[in-house]
Amino acid sequence: MANTILDVSDLNIEFHDHDLPETVVWDFDLMLDEGEIVGLVGESGSGKSMSAMAIAGLLPRHKVRKKGRITYGGIDLLTCSRDALRAYQGSDIGVIFQEPMTALDPLKKVGWQVEEPLKLHHPEIAPEERRRMAIDELRKAELEEPERVYDSYPFELSGGQRQRVCIAAAMIGNPRILIADEPTTALDVLVQEDIIALLRKINREEHVSILFISHDLSLVRQLCTRVLVMHSGRIVESGRTEEVFLNPQDPYTKKLISSIPKVDPDDPRKMEHKLSAEPVLELRNVNICYRERGTALKRRKNITVARDVSFTLHRGETLALVGGSGSGKSTIARAITGINKNYTGTIVKTDPNIQMIFQDPAGSLNPAHRIEWILEEPLKIAGGMTREERKERVRAQMRLVHLDEELLDRFPSQLSGGQRQRVCIAAALIRNPKILIADEPVSALDVTIQTEILALLRNLQKELSLSVIFISHDLRTVYQLCDNIVILKEGKIVEQGDVDEIYMHPKDAYTKKLLKAAGIH
């Protein structure tokens, strides 16, 4: 029988940074056994990360009141002294944070950051030995050329490489418990598969217990033996993963599981468009470059990132661009919109007014301005409208994306993730474009919010006769929404055509690999 390594009982978390205290987690219970992987799922604001950060001792003490018990190693981490808690943080309990680019200091090299837990917990270790241990941990995280990575800055690495660096930093202290908070968000399906395989390997070889937090229910089902479902700060269901997925009891759990996109031609949610033969966008033999950064001793040169790209978008069509990180998807989108003019070949547009919905709604909205200013600004730049006409257009856009007009007076930080993405859609459509490029518009959203945003995009496309280029690494969502698909690998098209045909009868080996990683084949 497995030994319990962590026992959390009756955990309540209450904030005191407003006039009235607000409880955000109620009666949270968790027993984590040695070598076990437990999933924690729920929507944004459900209390998942808050509960995990309480276990890791990372919640501020002066604004947050915690009740209950978190027992590890015979002591209560909620009531022990700061020094006692600090001895466990980063040593016995490691954390992989959600966004590696945010979690890593952009001004410090990777090696310094991986070594930091050793400096704090084992100052007696010599610098040369710390370097050797850090490089060894980077190698264990399956990073190629770990010595080069050690001397790199985070921005010089890919998203998957940065996430592996975060795993190395969490593991260098040889923790017994690893908290993985959304470790695969916004990564492409092949990189996700690699990260999940790495976590399995860590669990198996290091016998580390893992608390895996995710809104991707498919990944939770692949990785975890047990799952806890949170809603509005409470655990509403828990049990063996397969039992919960196959026979959910709570209405909220049923809603979550039913929101998972299906690859099924008979699924009523699958979008079907009336396609026109009229092309609205054509790319013919397009090669796209970017200018490498130069130095005093090194001349700048062009790096080709998309090669011989040709496809056509028709009126009313939704066309998917799919491929791994660095395959050229977003590069092609920037060339189509005119952001990147460094290309050869031909791009024919029937309407130059092409707008984009960007991947990160928080990052694409100006945090210093209110929603009304953000939506009105494109109309001011375009000109030709009175102030009252602009204000009315802004209000109409809010109604179009099903948002209350009262939100116009708020800043982006005061909105939920789903609300921010709706604002981004409203901003993209406010000048009535006929072509819309949606670049990973739902990758960072919960599964139920994803369903709402995708339903909104479907309705808007039908209502406004939009042609859409949909960039995504979520192949199940692509199947639900898109008519045709273009699959890219290292800047080249390896397969394109009807979504149903390619999903059922893929010809290219890379396409087969993508579909297999997504659990479709």
pLDDT of residue 20: 62
d(CA 287, CA 293): 19
Over residues 440-474, the pLDDT tens digits come to: 888 767 777 788 888 888 888 888 889 999 998 88
CB 130 within 8 A of CB 115: yes
Over residues 304-332, the pLDDT tens digits come to: 889 999 999 999 999 999 998 778 898 89
Over residues 357-392, the pLDDT tens digits come to: 887 777 788 999 999 999 999 999 999 899 999 999
**Which amino acid, residue 508?**
D
d(CA 216, CA 227): 12
pLDDT of residue 295: 57
DSSP for 277-341, please give it. S-EEEEEEEEEEEEEPPPBTTB---EEEEEEEEEEEEETT-EEEEEESTTSSHHHHHHHHHTS--
Over residues 157-206, the pLDDT tens digits come to: 877 888 899 999 999 999 999 999 988 876 788 888 889 999 999 999 99
Tell me how far apart the terminal alpha carbons of the chain are, to the nearest angstrom: 36
In the predicted model, what is the mean pLDDT of residues 16-27?
A: 76
Note the Cα 44 to chain centre separation in Å. 12
pLDDT of residue 296: 57
In the predicted model, what is the mean pLDDT of residues 22-42?
A: 93
Q: What's the Cα-to-Cα distance from 386 to each of 49, 243, 401, rounded to whole Å?
A: 46, 60, 23
Among 58-67, 101-110, 338-347, 489-498, the least confident range:
58-67
Instruction: Label residue 297 by pLDDT band (50, 70, 90).
Output: low
* Rg of the chain taking only CA atoms, in angstroms: 24
Q: Name the pTM for this structure.
A: 0.80
Strands 484-489 and 467-471: unpaired
**Residues of the chain above pLDDT 70, percent:** 95
**Residues of the chain above pLDDT 90, percent:** 57
d(CA 163, CA 177): 18
CB 109 within 8 A of CB 192: no
pLDDT of residue 149: 94
CB 73 within 8 A of CB 8: no
CB 507 within 8 A of CB 345: no
Please, what is the average pLDDT of the chain? 89
Over residues 115-146, the pLDDT tens digits come to: 999 998 899 999 999 999 999 999 999 998 99
Pick 247 or 46 by higher pLDDT: 247
DSSP for 335-398, please give it. HHHTS---EEEEEEES-S-EEEE-S-HHHHS-TTS-HHHHHHHHHHHH----HHHHHHHHHHHH
Residue with tokens 């070594």: 115
d(CA 188, CA 192): 6
Q: 150 pLDDT exceeds 70? A: yes
d(CA 18, CA 249): 36
Strands 93-96 and 177-181: parallel
Instruction: Label residue 262 by pLDDT band (50, 70, 90).
Output: confident
Query: How many residues does the structure list for the chain?
Result: 521
Instruction: Label residue 238 by pLDDT band (50, 70, 90).
Output: very high
